[in-house]
Amino acid sequence: MSDVVQIESNEPVAASTPQPQTSGQDTGYHVVPSSREGAEEELFAFRTAMAEPEEAKAARPEQNMLSWLPALGMAVAALACALLLVFFLPKQLKQKPPVLYIDMGNQRLDPAGLGGRLIARWEGSAAYQLSIDPIDQQQVARFEAVAQDPPYPLSFVIRLRDASGVVTCQKEILFPITGPPGDPAATGQTLQPLISPSGDTVQDVAGTDGKIAEISVTGGLPCPKEAYQHLVGWDFTSNFPTVADQTDWLKHEASLTKAVKPNASNTQRFVARAQRLPAPIDGDDTIVGDNPSKGTVDTSGGRVFLVGANGLRSRSTEWQFFPAAIHFRCDKNGACLLTRANAPTPLQARLMR
């Protein structure tokens, strides 16, 4: 292509820069100005027109992404809620297993001068351990006279309440009938804890002076699991003689004892002596033997636990083989709970030594 620029005849030509002439020919480039203003802008306007769609296309994904963010957030929140429902909510809704031991505290029955302490237990079903003793230690002799030979069938009613004070369950305990001192027919029975007509186990417990200073009663409670888990309070009533009537009964028993004094040896009664502890204890030991006639088990650590003859008979198989490694937990009154690995239920016991 030649260096000559072809110009239409109707457009003037002007050289922007003088060029040297050689050999009579024009060898330089000539700039041809446009006769319209903005011609250059129009000439390159296509670039803008072509770039705009690309910029729009580039911007569109970003805008689309922003528009999806709220929906994405809602989806993540829904997924988190679903995971919460699947993994965590069932654990919260799952009912906690009942505690094995609830100390219900002490109550008084002032007309009879009695104090009571109740411990509720869970052994696959609700159970209880009730300790009854005289409030005044000067009353022990009168209390013992009634405990050894009640003037009439004794009964106690324990009522258990929830936090609102409503009685959720109650139990009537009928005491077994024992013979008067010197009655040979009653002597053999008094060597072991007695089973009451209501199916409860009644055990006399002696104080340091050898007199009966406490009656320990254990048995089942008609409390469903839900009611047991909400127990917070209790009270009790009884037809136990009043303090004045106990005084009269003590005189009556003294006269009987004097009348049968020649056979006083036949009146000896097995009385368990529970340990009084300065503080609750918790530890491990090993049962190495038992005494079915007294309802006790002996440990390698020198401890003696009163399980009761009925408790020994009703033991599961795991408790009948020695040596048996156990864990024990006892309160200050000597009431204990014995547990053993692989045994389905614990044993209630009293710490004798």
Side chain identity at residue 164, one-letter code: S
Domain residue ranges in the chain: 101-267, 281-351
8 A C-beta contact, residue 215 and residue 205: yes
8 A C-beta contact, residue 192 and residue 201: no
pLDDT digits (tens, 9 = 90+) for 202-215: 888 877 677 888 89
pLDDT digits (tens, 9 = 90+) for 165-213: 999 999 999 887 654 444 433 433 343 578 887 788 888 887 767 788 8
Helix (H) or strand (E) holding 134: strand 126-134
State the virtual CA torsion across 221, 227, 233, 238 in degrees, nearest 10. -30
> Considering the chain, what is the average pLDDT of its residues?
74
List the beta bridge partners of residue 217.
Answer: 130, 202
List the beta bridge partners of residue 233.
Answer: 161
For residue 160, give Cα distances in angstroms to 46, 172, 234, 236, 310: 94, 12, 4, 9, 26
Residue in 307, 306, 335 with CA at minimum distance from that of residue 104: 335
Residue in 350, 302, 301 with CA at minimum distance from that of residue 329: 350
* DSSP characters over 215-246: EEEEEE----HHHHTT--EEEEEE-PPPHHHH
Tell me the average pLDDT across 12-31. Answer: 50
Band of residue 88 on the pLDDT scale cut at 50, 70, 90? low
Residue in 232, 196, 221, 216 with CA at minimum distance from that of residue 123: 221
8 A C-beta contact, residue 138 and residue 178: no
Give the span between the Cα atoms of 248 and 346, in whole angstroms. Answer: 42
Token pair in block for residue 305: 């636990």
Token pair in block for residue 281: 């204890």
8 A C-beta contact, residue 312 and residue 295: yes
pLDDT recorded at residue 35: 54
pLDDT recorded at residue 293: 65
Cβ neighbours around 333 below 10 Å, total: 21
User: CA torsion sign, 257 to 246 to 173 to 152?
Assistant: positive
* For the ranges 80-89, 159-168, 195-204, the one whose mean pLDDT is highest: 159-168
Residue in 158, 161, 164 with CA at minimum distance from that of residue 116: 158
List the beta bridge partners of residue 25.
Answer: 22
Euclidean distance between the first and the last CA atom of the chain, given in angstroms as a whole number: 127
3-state secondary structure of 349: strand
Side chain identity at residue 204, one-letter code: D
pLDDT recorded at residue 235: 95
pLDDT recorded at residue 2: 44
Give the span between the Cα atoms of 342 and 345, in whole angstroms. Answer: 9
Tell me the average pLDDT across 269-289. Answer: 78
140-148 vs 243-259: helix axis angle to the nearest 10? 60
Residue in 176, 191, 203, 188 with CA at minimum distance from that of residue 294: 191
8 A C-beta contact, residue 308 and residue 203: yes
